[in-house]
Chains A and B, each alone.
Chain A
């Protein structure tokens, strides 16, 4: 028997290439291409008065300088608003190059093309732009106050407003035995993949075709956007995502201005052009996420059961809304997590500020969380507050509010981001909690606390739960083809940024087709190989493409068995495929290789190879019909799509034990425990790796990383020197426990896992810090100096 690889920790097929320096990331391509560099706004809000290029024109090696005035046709129009929504009253997008106004530091104003990047940057330095500086809007408070406008045509800086209600939450809170209110804040952060963005374009003048590489999470999206902007038939544009050095959300946005401008320049100049983003550019012109301010009113009974929950929050969407208002929409729908308050009301207002635009960051990305960390923070802080008020154990209050397994599928009465009713398909929350408590030693923690206290050390424990909608539609497709050499080609349109797709999709195909995994070769994110796709975000790749590829492989299997049945003169039902050989079950003397069937599947049989020679002994086909009968196609290949009725919901619970140093208020992580349920697991090694990476981003977001804008809209920490991305010394060893509640919604029973680690980060640390210190934690991330300051004020007030 071919051993099943589904569920096994198969080592990754992509690794040998990547560990030996043979990866090909964007900037590894196009060494001879012209290089682009951008002059970007140094001001958060300004009017451009003049651009003087006199000195710049003298630089040897300069090819061209372009401002908004030079852009042509649709390239000069505003960038598209990708995801409109009825609640998005005032959507605004920027131009590829600023048209008179700049609205955040980092907005591109001039594009320079030169023989190499060093020269292009020299030219940028010599261009003089004069500005009329306007008063910027920075931070949610200023945006609300609306003394200044980000867009003069948008009243009160409000881009969107939405109210959703399930039951009459306000009345329920009013009549509840107990009430609490909380104000909760989360600051800005960013995905920060180690590789920035980048675009490389080749224009073929003879055939009028554009070939384009982008470090993107959606090559199909970029292709369509660029074709539209350059007024080219889709046929004439191909887009390839090469190896991508991390995404986490920021590379799902499209088209980025550079994705339009670089191909435009390549066509104009009839020469290959490349742009690779540098780190500062990434900080000030790629997307951020997370800044939200929440006000919560909650009513509950003696037992801690939530009777009414009313959440009002403000979201900082930056200067433009090309990606719509997906983040606050996700916060508003996913906030409830595993709980079932008797009534729920959520109202949000999305606000423009003169800062970089936002995009779902894991927690919706690569795999990692959008809008969810904020929602979980708000919900979990609320549950902890209830527990504290009633003097109940925090896990008990959680358990009392959990949706129970017998209530699945559970309709929350809301509409999810995919426009469909929010209904949890499966999950066993009490079991997850029981496992978590056992693993972390929740019930024995007070003993541990006293032991540490006796040594003069202060520790705390935190807990947080989340539910994550994964496998969001509308669809993905898969293509599977058997070559006569026995090589199996698999393609899917979505992209990879380190999720091990070449391995997990090969595992699926190896199992479905009964072939060795070594024979399976997977291509992702190349529109030449599979032109229809949505993209990699929101932990959807494994669910969507995994199922589509499985369905395509099943088509291939059916066809192979049918042809083999004809060749071996037996019923396909009696055949099996083992190690690439189709044979009669129980009679292994009658067999034919899958690759030989690949030859038989094509009536045109030139004997190019051994398989073709082997095929000559078999006869297939009905001589009373044409060589390719009406409902058939030549070749042994299959293509299928998977389009789910609804998202599938993964869930997880985290616990952390921390120690806080008495003098410095530094937080040290003693243990970090994760229990997660992402349905059937294709490759546990890869899923666990995703969790480790997610937890690291969760820790980073809770204790280290933030976007430090000053009041004039300057990002104060736009380098790895100042933005505290954690090193190995800051990240704990994760202890992970797994539950597998298969999803009933898809053929493979899988759910997404990419964002599992990151979502409850801020919530679980706030819970633990509050437990250790005894005072409320309402704002994350928290630095040692902030915690120290908080301690001091608490002491003074006491």
Chain B
């Protein structure tokens, strides 16, 4: 058998151009985690159900475990690492999770944060029910979701009060 053919994949990740040579079947989640070593994006199922691998592709939330890295070459990707403010302080959704005790083990958290970040751009003033719906595609085994819903509402509140958020 021959070794696998490698392809150069160039992406703009969190504003920085990054690249690696990988086989065609390399999942985007693995590409980010293992080739680019951005391990903030997590993998909880690898079959598209848990949402832990959610990243923003051109600003839209997608599941990194369902996409091949080669198929998005040239795109802009944002991961949870990229939602930190430029001065190193927490981005607004990250801060809201901290303040609302929206995480326990933290494994599901990056997927929630990217999802909510994108959601609030579309709907900056969600009701509690809308907040519940907004996160209904992500699994968390620890928190029972109550404080994640609280985090969504808190993030909206922080944005309204003009708290710094660079992204």
Using a CB–CB distance below 8 Å, which chain A residues touch chain B?
11-12, 14-16, 18-25, 27-28, 31, 58-61, 118, 192-195, 243-246, 248, 278-279, 366, 497-500, 685-686, 688-690, 692-697, 719-721, 725, 727-729, 731, 733-734, 757
Contacts and interface: CB of A to CB of B under 8 A. Distances in A.
Interface string B133-152: 10111111111111111000
A686 B100 CA distance: 11
A19 B46 contact: no
Contacts of A19: 80, 90, 94-95, 97-98, 103, 106, 109, 113
Candidate in B43, B101, B105 with the most chain A CB atoms within 10 angstroms:
B105
A2 to B, nearest CB: 23
A503 to B, nearest CB: 10
A60 B1 contact: yes
B90 A16 contact: yes
Contacts of A246: 104-105, 107, 141-142
Nearest to A736: B146
Contacts of B64: none
A692 B146 contact: yes
Interface SS, A side: loop
Contacts of A28: 33, 39
Contacts of A729: 132-133, 136
Contacts of A12: 98, 101
Interface of B: 1-4, 23, 25-26, 33-34, 37-47, 49-50, 52, 79-81, 83-84, 90, 94-95, 97-99, 101, 103-110, 113, 132-133, 135-149
A92 to B, nearest CB: 30
Candidate in A11, A12, A195, A721 with the most chain B CB atoms within 10 angstroms:
A195
29 contacts: A12-B101, A15-B106, A20-B81, A20-B84, A118-B25, A194-B50, A194-B108, A195-B44, A245-B44, A246-B107, A246-B141, A278-B46, A279-B44, A497-B105, A498-B103, A689-B101, A689-B143, A692-B143, A695-B144, A697-B141, A719-B47, A719-B49, A720-B45, A720-B139, A727-B136, A727-B137, A728-B136, A728-B148, A757-B144
Contact of A279 (B46, B79, B99): B46
A30 to B, nearest CB: 10
A18 B101 contact: no
A194 B52 contact: yes
A696 B69 CA distance: 35
A693 B143 contact: yes
Given A18-B106, A18-B109, A22-B40, 18 more contacts: A11-B98, A21-B39, A21-B40, A25-B39, A25-B107, A60-B3, A118-B23, A194-B52, A243-B107, A246-B142, A279-B46, A719-B47, A720-B47, A720-B50, A720-B139, A728-B136, A729-B136, A734-B144
Contact of B144 (A20, A243, A693): A693
Contact of A195 (B23, B42, B49, B113): B42
Contacts of A686: 101
Contacts of A118: 23, 25-26
B146 A734 contact: yes
A498 B104 CA distance: 4
B105 A31 contact: no
A34 to B, nearest CB: 13
A404 B44 CA distance: 46
Contacts of A720: 44-45, 47, 49-50, 139
Given A11-B99, A15-B97, A689-B104, A245 B136 contact: no
Contacts of A734: 144, 146
Contacts of A728: 132-133, 135-136, 138, 145, 148-149
Contacts of A757: 144
B98 A31 contact: no
Contacts of A21: 38-41, 79-81, 84, 110
Contacts of A60: 1-4
Contacts of A244: 105
A412 B27 CA distance: 57
Contact of A719 (B25, B45, B83): B45
A696 B148 CA distance: 13
Contact of A693 (B3, B99, B104): B104
A59 B33 CA distance: 25
Contacts of B3: 60-61
A727 to B, nearest CB: 5
A676 to B, nearest CB: 14
A245 B42 contact: yes
Nearest to B104: A498
A21 B38 CA distance: 8
A408 to B, nearest CB: 31
Contacts of B79: 21
B55 to A, nearest CB: 11
Nearest to A686: B101
A393 B102 CA distance: 39
